[in-house]
Chains A and B, each alone.
Chain A
Amino acid sequence: MEPIERHTIAVLVDNEAGVLARVIGLFSGRGYNIESLTVAEVDPESAISRITVVTSGTPMIIEQIKAQLDRLVPVHRISDLTDGGASVERELALVKVRGSGNKRVEALRIADIFRARAIDSTNNSFVFEISGSPEKLDAFINLMRSLGLVEISRTGAVAIARGAKGI
């Protein structure tokens, strides 16, 4: 068996009706994995959106995924940020924690270590904002579990290649 690899793929698409459904339908219809998917318009003038999708599969499947994405009519360009040299990947999460006394102090202390910011606070709760690699977010969230974790909202990863060159 070929090894399973995790790839982050950026897809530039025309921001037209149904384009996201096309991309998602492709993944579900062909049985590919989606670990996370984010989308937002990046060029309002030419109505271009960027989809970042994190997926996994054997090298042959990853090649298929890229070829299948590329042949969708509204797709301008795709870029495999895992294959194409160094890239940076970030995700943002909002994490709600409820607690009092020592647990509250401990939550604040850990947030500080992770450079998470409290963006909302009540007598017995915090909402932390944290960004970083998906792994860093996982670690932070895991630590919050025993300190009164209530709710998590994550954006999914966005990524971009290092260096001066554009996609």
Chain B
Amino acid sequence: MAKRKLSGSDIVIQSLVDAGVDTIFGYPGGAVLPIYDALFKQNRLKHVLVRQEGGAVHMAEGYARSTGKLGVVLVTSGPGATNAVTGLTDALMDSIPVLCLTGQVPTHLIGNDAFQEADTTGITRPCTKHNYLVKDVNDLGQVMQEAMYVARSGRPGPVVIDLPKDVLINEAPYEVGKKPVAKHKTYRPQIKGDNARIREAVELIAKAKRPLFYCGGGVVNSGPRGSKLLTEFVKMTGYPITLTLMGLGAYPATDNKFLGMVGMHGTYESNLAMHDCDVMINVGARFDDRVTGLISEFSPGSKKIHVDIDPSSINKNVAVDVPIVGDCASVLAEMIKVWKEIKPSIDTKAINKWWDQIEKWRKRDCLAYKQSKDIIKPQYALERLQALTKDRDTYITTEVGQHQMWAAQYMKFNQPNRWMTSGGLGTMGYGFPAAIGVQMAHPKATVIDIAGEASFQMNIQEMSTAMQYRLPVKVFILNNEYMGMVRQWQELLYGSRYSESYTASLPDFVKLAESYGAAGFRATKPSEVDDVIKEMLDNDQFTIVDIAIDKGENCFPMIPSGAPHNEMLLGPDDEAEKPVSEDGMVLV
């Protein structure tokens, strides 16, 4: 196709359109006015006006995680860019593909402490996968293409392009309709795993007596095919599987081979299986400290296989025996092929014995809780939410805290991309904007942010965004009038001195919703929960639900920091008996 002369702003828009982007989340300002003017004159890109740039990045994350597509953000220079930093760091930690376009002062003013100047590439260097400062409009088309490729490929992540205002105004030739690039001169992620290693892994898997699949966000990153192949392989072997917080949905939660989430607030059976297994098959998980607990006592007797697309994830925290660098889907397909080829005769007797052991652990019913007639237990509220949404086209996001962990424990995900949560950075205020992003991508779906009253307030300004775009997002607040997760740690480690962990001066969330023209409902008794959930689901507008839950409830099971997997606290009685070690105090 012929090249046309376009302004920098038009090149930005045209490159996004050429790459199949249809939605961007942003906020205007002086440095990006040329792009906003160009946006005004076109109708292929839909722009969602947020209320704070921090919200824009989380929206893009929700959009990206629920679709597998790139999330795109547009913010102005200086404060616009610095407001985006938390979201960028969040996307980096959780491997979410985000492109963030930031305005910058004109090139001749860079370095002069000009109005709304910030060293955006300097500030975002450690919180992006890569970043660019474009100084010549002739480089812009190429940089746009490259940036989108880098954000999406390999281990996905956030990429920033800093755009000085003169670059947006100047013109350069651009080939409209250009195919997106699929390679890069220095950045070449490894997709295919090493065949010999894969064979070695499969032979180890075939000989296992106490095997366990431990899988994570990498499977979700490798697309629906990754989850499909994982499910196929796990079913072929008949082995148990556990998932990380980021991996939920990568294997169907309602299948019997799924032991529940692993880690600090994971199930008893998952953590004991991690501790006692003889072959650990890690596919796309990164041995995070929330999962390993005390490293020196982490799964002491197992041979470990680790499939990861990022070589720096391998042998970082835990030394492994069979490292395989590659994409989960590609490696799983290969593993299945080899498995079928060698037709292994697995040690059925040993495997049955292992399952018997697991069933014994399961019988502890670690997620059981004491139901109450008068007070709403958070677990009960979520069980009802799960029951009443399971037949709908549902997407769940969360904020950060106890409610997040209860959501991970009680909501059941049978598909990937249905669960959006801030795992690595643990960003309060993530869930609500993320839900808006999800709803933009799936207008007809039921999108629910399971929230704490403290977290919701961190990006509460986006209510206005939800209203403006008529997004029927639901905010389901488990309101304990505490930063419950902080309070729980203070009970465990600081003699119940509740230093600044109460959430005073809360708004009336029902009236708050109404003041925006949205719907608000409240439940204060267990008998009201079902009705309120039904009203929420029947409502086709933005809705806030305030569930007044038991203010003292804590989240169990729990492995205190610095403890090994087999020293879980299963409930409040355990908590009183096993004081946390001093070593654990220094850990987070």
Contact = CB atoms under 8 A, between A and B. Distances in A.
Nearest to B121: A18
A75 interface: yes
A91 B450 CA distance: 60
B315 A63 contact: yes
Interface stretch (A64-72, A125-133, A142-150): A64-72
Interface in B292-338: 310-312, 314-316, 319
A21 B187 contact: no
B579 interface: no
A67 B186 contact: no
Contacts of B311: 67, 70-71
A73 interface: yes
Nearest to A26: B126
B186 A76 contact: yes
Nearest to B187: A73
B133 interface: yes
Contacts of B125: 18, 21-22, 25
A64 B126 contact: no
B150 interface: yes
A149 to B, nearest CB: 37
A25 B310 CA distance: 19
Contacts of A71: 310-312
A71 B92 CA distance: 14
A64 B312 contact: yes
Interface string A48-68: 000000000000100110011
A29 B54 CA distance: 23
Interface string B91-134: 00000000000000000000000000000011001100111010
A26 to B, nearest CB: 8
B235 interface: no
B184 interface: yes
A17 B312 contact: no
28 contacts: A14-B186, A17-B133, A18-B125, A18-B131, A18-B133, A21-B122, A21-B125, A22-B125, A25-B126, A29-B126, A60-B315, A64-B312, A64-B315, A67-B310, A67-B311, A67-B312, A67-B314, A68-B312, A70-B311, A70-B312, A71-B312, A73-B129, A73-B130, A73-B186, A73-B187, A74-B186, A75-B186, A76-B186
Given A60-B315, A64-B316, A67-B310, 9 more contacts: A17-B133, A25-B126, A64-B312, A68-B312, A70-B311, A70-B312, A73-B129, A73-B150, A76-B186
